[in-house]
Amino acid sequence: MRKVNGARDIAIVGVHATRQQKKSGRTVVSMMMESIRGALDDAGIPLSEVDGYISYIFPAGNGRGFDDGAIAEQFGHPIAMTAQTSGAKAVLLAGAAIRAGIAKVVIIPAAGAQSLAGDMATYTRPTFEFTEWTGSMTPAQYGIMARRHMHEFGTTIEQMAEIAANSHYNASINPQAVRFGDDVQTVERILNGRMIADPLTQPMCSLVNDGASCIVVTSAERAQDCRHPPVWVLGGAAETHGNSYFEAPSLRMLGTRQLMIDGFARAGVRHDDIDIVMCYDHFAHGPIVQFETLGFCEPGEGGAYVPDAIRLDGVHPSSMDGGNLAYSHNMIPYNFKQIEVVNQFRNVVEDLCPGWREGVHTYDRAICRKVRDPKLSVGCGPLTDARHAFTILAKD
């Protein structure tokens, strides 16, 4: 069998994120096209070369939707490969399609404009006969998981608050973050925040905002002529083992962690070699379950391990952009985990350092959110109670 994982044959060559903000008044399609143009411009690849498209399908004008036919119609040329997902899982699929010769340049746009509808997301409250009547909603689902983790393993709410505080702090020095300029949420403030679904307070819950992002994936050959050095996709793993939000939330993901751990072995990478772990802080307990599932620590050890590990100078920095809690949750924020790794690799990290545009960082954590010299990183997402994926990304 030909060994493909771990090879430097597939690369992320372009990334872009639009302004992430509350109540932008913009349409999803307008933001998405901005992100596509931005990412292709970043890569130095024209739209005419794009023959792969991976994104969740959403309603567009006149009920047509943005399905594969609508995309080909809009782009004015044939699209060889389309699929519906985002983030790490989309990057892995793009790599597989490129290796198989099905597509050459795959774009992965994601956009959402949810916040016009209110300050609570609706997409995880299915109109399902066994869910809707219970008053289930996203924070409640994850409040249930957080409490179960606390019960089974002795994880504390203070540990979860520390994880949330890391995201909020990093957003306070990222001018692109939705919560930039707001009062910084400290551990104490987070614990005393407005209770949404006990034990989760509001600062432990994802934002709801507008914005778009796009990733461009191509082959090593095509990457040679791109504007930036390639970010190699060494491998990863993905799994879906249940119907999140319809079924009872649980910690059963921990039972399938070997599927995730195998992804590191396939790529020929050891956990200790990884620098950044851009995990998925949809709710404050999320990074704990994720570090455990990925095999960075044993189930039950995450509460003690994660809060220190993910700091900017920790062993596995995470949510350097502010994460879902304080940078952006635009309905589909999975791409941001890949994009932040790429930006850190490229040394294009906007913060309060006077020289950030020139790549000059102070590493003074009062103003600087640049990680020191990352070379090998993990980018996660999606993550729910029953869906999980990650990539292993490397720079030369």
> Considering only 4-12, 46-54, 194-202, 228-236, which stretch makes contact with other proteins by CB under 8 A?
194-202
Look at residues 123, 124, 128 and name the one whose alpha carbon lies nearest to residue 113. Answer: 123
Q: For residue 151, what is the DSSP state?
A: H
Among 57, 102, 117, 195, binds other proteins (CB under 8 A): 195
Look at residues 201, 179, 163, 184 and name the one whose alpha carbon lies nearest to residue 277. Answer: 163
Shorter beta-carbon distance to other proteins: residue 147 or 395: 147
> Considering only 44-52, 163-171, 248-256, 285-293, which stretch makes contact with other proteins by CB under 8 A?
248-256
Look at residues 283, 314, 322, 312 and name the one whose alpha carbon lies nearest to residue 297. Answer: 314
* Residue 381 binds to other proteins (criterion: CB under 8 A): no
CA 337 to chain centroid? 3
CB of 151 to other proteins, least distance (A): 4
- Number of residues in contact with other proteins under rule CB under 8 A: 33
What is the DSSP secondary-structure string of 202-251?
A: GGGB----EEEEEEEEEEHHHHTTSSS--EEEEEEEEEE-S-TTTSPP-S
* Residue 127 binds to other proteins (criterion: CB under 8 A): yes
What's the CA gap between 172 and 169, in Å, rounded?
5
129-148: which residues touch other proteins (CB under 8 A)? 129-137, 139-140, 143-145, 147-148
63-102: which residues touch other proteins (CB under 8 A)? none
CB of 9 to other proteins, least distance (A): 38
Shorter beta-carbon distance to other proteins: residue 198 or 364: 198
Among 38, 87, 112, 199, binds other proteins (CB under 8 A): 199
Among 110, 200, 253, 276, binds other proteins (CB under 8 A): 200
CB of 139 to other proteins, least distance (A): 7
Among 9, 41, 68, 247, binds other proteins (CB under 8 A): 247
**213 contacts 324 by C-beta, under 8 angstroms:** no
Helical segments of 9-156, H only: 28-43, 68-75, 87-99, 138-153
What's the CA gap between 289 and 75, in Å, rounded?
40
* Residue 197 binds to other proteins (criterion: CB under 8 A): yes
**Chain residues in the site for other proteins (CB under 8 A):** 120, 122, 125, 127, 129-137, 139-140, 143-145, 147-148, 151, 194-200, 246-250
